Structure 1
Amino acid sequence: MLNQLKQRKGLSQEDADYREYLQKGFEGERKFDEILERLSKDSLIIQDLRLEANRQIFQIDTLVITRNNLLVYEIKNFQGEYSFHDNELKTHPYKRVIMNPLTQFNRTCTLLNILLDKIGVYIPLNGKLVFVNDSFILYQKTEHPDILLPQQIERHISQLNRFSEPFTSAQKELGDKLLYLHLTEDRYIQVPEYTFEELKKEALCPQCRLNLKIKNRRTVYCPSCGFSAFNTRIISEEVQAYVLLFPEQKLTTAVIYDWCGALFPKRTIQRVLATNYTESGTRKGTHYLHNSFCR
């Protein structure tokens, strides 16, 4: 969502920094997901789980359910040198204090324990604060048991595989319970205010995010990077972008025609909408239903 607003409106420095922070976090989680693909099939992995306990919302980057315990992973994609002393994380050597990620990690584990107790699940809970970036260096007097450094990740995965036991129905039932309690609305993401009128109306290149141009009746191209694609693909992607930013607004041919900067014929847009969404209404009142309207 912030990526779309960056291209169509621009972001303040504060919002741009926030977007970069989220992007780095996403890249770190994706890297750890790839590492976990080497984990034994006897484990159930759930990513980006948002739950509530004691009227407090908390998020788990990665949860691994094994036969004997739960493993909570808080992923950080920090770069550079840091020191950890007296329960404070500081940049090294300048000693600028960073918000301690162990505090967030401990809060997550505490609230998850409360939730498990509430739903009648009694299973040991362990976890790690994982620093996935290879350029991350941590200076500390003693090794913290809850911190997993980049050079320790492979050994950690090997140890889990060595002691894994066959998957059981109880693991699946617990996973189903937690997924049922998952909060689909992401209240963590803070988005600046915007209106349809103030956003730029254009079709954007998926690769370099600059304006696309018509190549022929069926395709568009990017003068900047050379990317080309069928009109129907780009229209579909622009419809998804519009729905992401305006989930409660009616989805119509005229709106998407305007949204794409009048780049595509209305007939082509109507065909894409009719193929991918459910038509509702008649004549001038025709619009198309997406997931936000089909609750």
Structure 2
Amino acid sequence: MSFIKHRSKPDEMKVLETLNDRMNLTVKEKYDLTNLAKGFEGEQKFDEWLLTLSNEWNILNDLRFEMNNTYYQIDSLSLFSETIYQFEVKNYEGDYYIEKDTWYSIKGKEISNPFLQLTRAESLLRRFIKSLGFNYSIESYLIFINPEFHLYHAPRNQQIIFPTQLPRFMNNLSKKTSKVAKNHTKIVEQLLHFHLTESPYNRIPKYTFDGLKKGIICIKCRSFINTFNRMYLICDHCGNREKVTSAVLRSVDDYMILFPEEKVTRKVIQEWCKIVPGKTIINILSDHYKMIASGKNSHYIKSDK
């Protein structure tokens, strides 16, 4: 098994997590963050299952494409011999049921039909692959990863894999053999070329630098640290101890997540970290970033060292 494109935390999730520490998110925004975190957790668990496959499997995660102004995404795509395997992973928890092809939570709330989502993505992917000049068959599977999930009135559908079926399903995949090794280089190059690096869906709330709470956040309990102590910062709330350098670098990362287009300067990072003196900020930035000197516009960028 070879991960050609690894899975990474969604940018939207990174931003919402960082904002959650520094402003009051709405109930809807917190709900979105919870769903993103739960979905990402489920996808990571499925990646652990993919690790059991042989080296003949080439895997690309988190693919996003647009076909005729229609956007779709694929949680995991695996290439094996002449077949493309598409996996849609759901980390649903609790009881659900189906009535007349409509999916509901046990409380009666209608939810989007995940199987229709799978078949729609498969149709778009098939047309896309054909437009690129490749002739691959496609097998698509809806994976329910959470062992606490149950679906009443579940259809007899071999494309839907429930948690109890997952070990057997992955074992069957691992037993597949290819008489002739297939070179997937060309199709992989095309898939990566047309992959959209940014999602067109934006659920990020509006925010400004001035509107966010400043300071260094405890890595353990997410409280703001109130006291600076040369080498270490100690959280008044939980007692966690962290080196100043580590804490400042984390805070710089948070700033860059929220303001990727803005320059990293000593002044702005000192204001962002609040309790750390300017001299300490300069020393940390100089040690870990490359300084671009241009008078009042001097700033720091990621260093190769």
1:222 equivalent in structure 2? 235
- Contact 2:82 / 2:182 at 8 angstroms: preserved in 1? no
1:95 equivalent in structure 2? 108
1:48 equivalent in structure 2? 62
- Contact 1:220 / 1:230 at 8 angstroms: preserved in 2? yes
State yes or no: 1:5 paired with 2:25. Answer: no
State yes or no: 1:69 paired with 2:83. Answer: yes
For residues 239 and 254 of structure 1, what CA distance do their matches in structure 2 show?
Answer: 12
For residues 165 and 66 of structure 2, what CA distance do their matches in structure 1 show?
Answer: 31
Q: Which moved more, 1:135-144 or 1:197-206?
A: 135-144
For residues 90 and 27 of structure 1, what CA distance do their matches in structure 2 show?
Answer: 22
2:277 equivalent in structure 1? 265
For residues 189 and 273 of structure 1, what CA distance do their matches in structure 2 show?
Answer: 31
Q: CA RMSD in A?
A: 2.0
Deviations 1:14-68 (A, max 9, x none): 1111111111111111111112111222101111111221122211111111112
* 1:172 shift after superposition: 3.2
Give me the TM-score of the superposition, normalised by structure 1: 0.91
For residues 50 and 4 of structure 1, do their structure 2 counterparts lie closer, same or farther at Cα, with a shift above 3 Å needed? Answer: same
For residues 162 and 169 of structure 1, do their structure 2 counterparts lie closer, same or farther at Cα, with a shift above 3 Å needed? Answer: closer
* 1:116 shift after superposition: 0.7
**Which residue among 164, 171, 188 is the counterpart of 1:151?**
164
2:218 equivalent in structure 1? 205
For residues 167 and 24 of structure 1, do their structure 2 counterparts lie closer, same or farther at Cα, with a shift above 3 Å needed? Answer: farther
Give me the TM-score of the superposition, normalised by structure 2: 0.88
For residues 287 and 132 of structure 2, what CA distance do their matches in structure 1 show?
Answer: 43
- Contact 1:52 / 1:115 at 8 angstroms: preserved in 2? no
For residues 134 and 199 of structure 1, do their structure 2 counterparts lie closer, same or farther at Cα, with a shift above 3 Å needed? Answer: same
**Length, aligned pairs only:** 289
2:11 equivalent in structure 1? none
State yes or no: 1:80 paired with 2:94. Answer: yes
Helix, strand or coil at the partner of 1:72: strand
For residues 137 and 229 of structure 1, what CA distance do their matches in structure 2 show?
Answer: 43
For residues 50 and 290 of structure 1, do their structure 2 counterparts lie closer, same or farther at Cα, with a shift above 3 Å needed? Answer: farther
Q: Identity over the aligned pairs, expressed in percent? A: 33
**Which residue among 105, 113, 123 is the counterpart of 2:136?**
123
> Gaps spanning 5+ residues in structure 2: where?
1-14
Q: Which moved more, 1:145-154 or 1:169-178?
A: 169-178
2:9 equivalent in structure 1? none
Amino acid in structure 2 at the alignment position of 1:65: L
* 1:166 shift after superposition: 7.5
* 1:170 shift after superposition: 2.0
* 1:141 shift after superposition: 5.4
1:274 equivalent in structure 2? 286
